[in-house]
Every structure is written in structure tokens, then in C-alpha cells.
């Protein structure tokens, strides 16, 4: 499984990486800026993406729209809470509050794995 984590706080990105690795073996790439994330997406295909809503002075809204259009499963993580993001450009995406609960992230990973298996079976 190929995973992209877009998170500007290294300790949180590493914690998410640890959670993912405890669920399934994965090749994880971490991007700490929106530009790094866009370059990573240009360079490869990912099965699952974790987006921090606020990365530096930017938001990951454009990245989220791109992933949605490409059919890539992603979750948005935020310290602002779900209600703060419900009525903006992240509407319709899965949103997880920080701190991230491992059981909720695990469920999203399993969903992404199922989608990948279904695509490969076609």
C-alpha cells in the first residue's frame, strides 16, 4: 500500500506513520507543504492519503479536490474540529479530529485497501 501523509508537524506525521504501519505494511511518503504534496502526487500513485487541513499558511483544499477527482481515498485531519470544516471545501470528505484515534484511522485504511483490491480485480 502506498500512502501519502501531508502534515507540517513532523512528530504528528511520524505518529500517523506508526499507526499506519501497525495496521498494514505500507510505503509512506511524508510531505510537509502543499507544494511537496503536489509534487508527490505528480510523481506517483497513492492508495490512501492523510491530509492535515492546515499546512503552514496553506490549506490542503486543492489537494483534496484533486484526490477526489482522481478517486483516491483520503481523510482530512484537523485540530479545528469537524464542525469547522463541514461547510467549506472539505465537505463530503472523511474528517478525523486531532488527536487521531487509531481505530478510526484503521477503519479508513481498511476501506482504502478494499478499494484497491476491487480496482485490481477489474
Q: Consecutive 10-residue runs of the chain (122 residues): their mean pLDDT?
A: 97 97 96 97 95 92 90 89 63 86 95 87 78
94-97 and 58-59 beta bridge pairing? unpaired
Q: What is the pLDDT of residue 93?
A: 81
Cβ(84)–Cβ(65) below 8 Å = no
Helix (H, G, I), strand (E, B) or coil at 95: strand
> Which domains does the chain show, CATH number per domain?
2-117 (3.40.50.2300)
What pLDDT score was predicted for residue 116? 83
Collect contacts of 92-100 with beta carbons under 8 A, ≥24 apart: 92/68, 93/64, 93/68, 98/12, 100/15, 100/16, 100/19
In this prediction, residue 122 carries a pLDDT of 73
* pLDDT reported for residue 85: 64
What is the reported pLDDT for 115?
Answer: 86
| E strand segments, the chain | 2-6, 27-31, 48-52, 54-55, 58-59, 73-78, 94-97
Picking from 58, 56, 53, 107, the residue whose alpha carbon sits closest to that of residue 82 is: 53
| pLDDT computed for residue 84 by the predictor | 62
Contact by Cβ (8 Å): 112, 1: yes
Residues 55/34, Cβ–Cβ less than 8 Å? yes
Amino acid at each position: 500500500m502506498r500512502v501519502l501523509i501531508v502534515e507540517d508537524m513532523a512528530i504528528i506525521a511520524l505518529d500517523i506513520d506508526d499507526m499506519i504501519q501497525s495496521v498494514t505494511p505500507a510505503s509512506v511518503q511524508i510531505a510537509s507543504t502543499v507544494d511537496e504534496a503536489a509534487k508527490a502526487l505528480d510523481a506517483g500513485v497513492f492508495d490512501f492519503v492523510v491530509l492535515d487541513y492546515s499546512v503552514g499558511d496553506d490549506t490542503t483544499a486543492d489537494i483534496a479536490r484533486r484526490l477526489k477527482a482522481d478517486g483516491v481515498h483520503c481523510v482530512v485531519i484537523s485540530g479545528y474540529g469537524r464542525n469547522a470544516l463541514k461547510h467549506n471545501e472539505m465537505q463530503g470528505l472523511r474528517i478525523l479530529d486531532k488527536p487521531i484515534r487509531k481505530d478510526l484511522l484503521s477503519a479508513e485504511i481498511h476501506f482504502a485497501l478494499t478499494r484497491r483490491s476491487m480496482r485490481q480485480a477489474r
